[in-house]
Amino acid sequence: MKIAIIGDTHFGYKRFQEDSFSQGAESILSAYEKAEMIILAGDIFDTKIPTMETIGETVTIFEILKNKDWEVKYSNDISKIPIAAIHGTHERRTKGSLNPIQLLAKMNYLIDVDNNCSIFDLNEEKVCIQGMGGVPDEFAKNTLRALELKPKEGMFNILVLHQSIKEFMYIGEKTSSLISLNDLPQGFDLYINGHIHDYKTGLEGKFIIPGSTVVTQLKPNEQGDKGYVIYDTNTKTHEFIPIKTRNFKFKELTFEEANITDIENKCRKTIEEAIQQYKEKPIIKINLKGNLKKGLETKDLDLSFQKEYKDKCFLFISNELNSESLKQKIDKIREIREEKKSIKDFGALIFGEKLKNAGIELNNPGAVLDELTDKPEQIIERIKSQED
């Protein structure tokens, strides 16, 4: 059986709404032509309560799928089209409330396999698909354990998830509460996971992340091809099918003792190179890191020049200049705690750094801070006398 696997389409995503529909539709309609059934791995919609317009656009796409004489049959109701789906984290609603995937299931556009064993037949072959819809990461382990999902004997067994997976997170991301490949119930022939937005595989091809069909997170990993996967249950092999998408360029610019002109010039160069590289209006994300020349603050940086490019690209600039990373702040607090420094010492350290950034270096900033704290009137008088 040839099964198309499609990840996060995020229909109705406001920032790039047109892309969400055109690129998601391309994946689904291409799969409709090439595959014998389709699995949707969650976050079909971008929100748990989509607008009527978003539902209408989505239904228009799914209506086309009814035109095909599907050979694969759903065992419980052969009249239903063989599209299996789970809800993602964006679609998750409280217990007892109808989520958008359940709505599409009621409209006979798909089969909801969340916490459900659904069997699909093609000639003599039986494929059993079970799923766990997206839950908050901190509850994923316990939820997966509580469902007690087990493969069915004599069938090709597929488990569909929509979670962060420890082995596929990037350096710096918190992973302690995430499920691992080792936490997956054993014995399934294929594991499919949504939620992660770039195409990845694991377990020697038995674990597949198809990735999203639209850029939403503006992260470096979203610069690659987007598309969907076709898996062949007979050969146990798969192929990634790329689709036409809007180009996305991510660039991190790091500065050392930079002035305002340098930063603007480098930003402009990056933007103009990306515009020339891509024919259609691209998405460009620039992260500014490092530090400014002494005496300058992040508020001095004027990014209003972005408006000049509004007709040529979708531009996003993140200004992280002069900002400590969270890790640096935590490390600093841990160091102070280990050295048993007081709050007063900590304040002196920060005060000294602020003065240094302003171009003022003191041998003993703590003493100056003490004077400012204990004898502010004397400090003011001293400043006045120096001015006279």
What digits encode the pLDDT tens for the residues 247-269?
999 999 999 988 899 999 999 99
Token digits of residue 209:
């992340």
- Please work out, in degrees rounded to the nearest 5, the angle formed at the alpha carbon of residue 182 by the alpha carbons of 176 and 183: 70
- Residue entry with tokens 């217990």: 95
- Residue entry with tokens 């990993």: 221
What number is the average pLDDT over the span 147-156? 95
Q: How confident is the model at residue 336 (pLDDT cuts 50, 70, 90)?
A: low
pLDDT of residue 323: 56
Residues 6+ apart with CB under 8 A from 75: 118, 119, 120, 121, 126
Report whether 346 contacts 337 (CB < 8 A). no
- With CA atoms as reference, report the closest residue to 354 among 346, 382, 341, 287: 346
Q: What would the 3-class secondary structure string for 181-245 be?
A: HHHCCCCCCEEEECCCCCCEEEHHHCEEECCCCCCCCCCHHHHCCCEEEEEECCCCEEEEEECCC
Report whether 116 contacts 75 (CB < 8 A). no
- 288-297: pLDDT as tens digits: 999 888 888 8
What number is the average pLDDT over the span 82-102? 94
Rg of the chain taking only CA atoms, in angstroms: 27
Report whether 43 contacts 29 (CB < 8 A). no
DSSP string, 44-104: SBSSSS--HHHHHHHHHHHHHHTTS--SSEETT-TTS-SEEE---TTT---TTSPPHHHHH
Q: Is the confidence at residue 370, as pLDDT, over 80? A: no
pLDDT of residue 296: 84
3-class state of residue 273 by DSSP: helix
How many whole angstroms separate alpha carbon 5 and alpha carbon 207? 12
Q: How confident is the model at residue 89 (pLDDT cuts 50, 70, 90)?
A: very high
Q: Is the confidence at residue 325, as pLDDT, over 50? A: no
Q: Is the confidence at residue 365, as pLDDT, over 70? A: no
pLDDT of residue 374: 66
- Looking at the chain, the whole-number percentage of residues with pLDDT higher than 90 is 69
Q: Is the dihedral of CA 176, 87, 15, 280 positive or negative?
A: positive
28-42, 168-182, 300-314: which has the minimum mean pLDDT?
168-182
Domains of the chain by start residue, with CATH? 2-242 (3.60.21.10), 248-319 (no CATH), 330-387 (no CATH)
CB atoms within 10 A of CB 186: 7
Please indicate whether residue 216 or residue 351 has the higher confidence score (pLDDT).
216
How many whole angstroms separate alpha carbon 349 and alpha carbon 58? 57
5-14, 23-32, 254-263, 362-371: which has the minimum mean pLDDT?
362-371
pLDDT of residue 158: 98
How many whole angstroms separate alpha carbon 352 and alpha carbon 362? 7
- 180-199: pLDDT as tens digits: 999 999 999 999 999 999 99
pLDDT of residue 302: 87
Residue 43: half-sphere exposure toward Cβ, Cα within 13 Å: 25
